[in-house]
Amino acid sequence: MDDKIKKVAYTGFIAKGAVYGITGILAFLAAFNLGGSKAGKFQVIEFLEKQPFGKVLLALLGIGLICYALWRFIQSIQDPENIGTDNKGLVKRVSFFISGLIYLGLGIFSIVDIFYEPSSGGGGGGGSFLGPQLKTYLFIAIGLALAGKGIYQFIKAYKGDFLQKFEIGSISDSKKRRAIKTFGYGGLISRGILTCIISYFFLKAGFSFSADDSIKGTKEAFSFLQETSSGPWLMGIVAAGLVCYGLYMFAQARYRKFNG
């Protein structure tokens, strides 16, 4: 595989790891009232903007996320690692393309936010351009897709397929091998839990025919966990899992092997 493509992928892994790591840290601190906040990806951008040299951080994050999006597009279209065109391969490649669109949007948002100045006017949100019935079907479709994605995270953790990307046996240091396994398992399970909760939000809104304009994401999923009987502990464990996923992405930037 071309070294330029690899560098794009590595840069993207670091950016994605930063987003998940910060999300997990903020949520973990919030779970035990140590500061922080229940955050989704957009809240992470807001958090970075408020830090010293915030605009520089946002620019770096935006470039990194766009690199990750480009890597996903390359995986989807060029198929440099020979995923193939059978049913399983096509599903993977379509999911890579969708992932690329999401991270491209997030990367562009990060960069645009550098130059954005909030309007002093209190303009209220307009009505949705989607009709209520179409929106209901859309919410159900998104919910089912997210449910599939959440279950897939658990399957990946159960099978340990993610370790193949590292050629784990070639890493001589046993501590590094254990760390990568721990980060991967913890991260995938936490992502699976949060994705399934978000899927539940969409399906509930869709099947109850009450899909409103608010789209619930990671922030609301953490609130859902916090309101359970286990409250802070469950939220804290899942948040720690997201930190693990961020570290897993950093490990990919350092140790991932490419098949092509």
> What pTM does this model have?
0.82
Kindly give the confidence (pLDDT) of every residue in the chain, 260 residues in length, as a single tens digit, with 9 standing for 90 and above: 788 899 999 999 999 999 999 989 988 988 888 876 766 666 677 778 778 878 888 899 999 999 999 999 999 999 988 888 898 889 889 999 998 998 998 889 888 877 766 554 444 444 444 456 677 777 788 888 889 889 999 999 999 888 888 877 777 888 888 999 999 999 999 999 999 998 888 888 778 766 555 566 777 888 888 787 677 888 889 999 999 999 999 999 988 888 76
Long-range contacts of 118-124 (CB under 8 A, 24+ apart): none
For residue 32, what pLDDT is reported?
Answer: 83
Kindly provide the b/e burial profile for residues 237-247, where b requires at least 16 CB atoms within 10 angstroms of the residue's own CB: bbbbbbbbbbb
For residue 241, what pLDDT is reported?
Answer: 94
Q: Where are the domains of the chain?
A: 3-116+130-255
Q: Kindly report the number of other CB atoms within 10 A of residue 50's CB atom.
A: 8
For residue 117, what pLDDT is reported?
Answer: 61
For residue 42, what pLDDT is reported?
Answer: 66
For residue 132, what pLDDT is reported?
Answer: 62
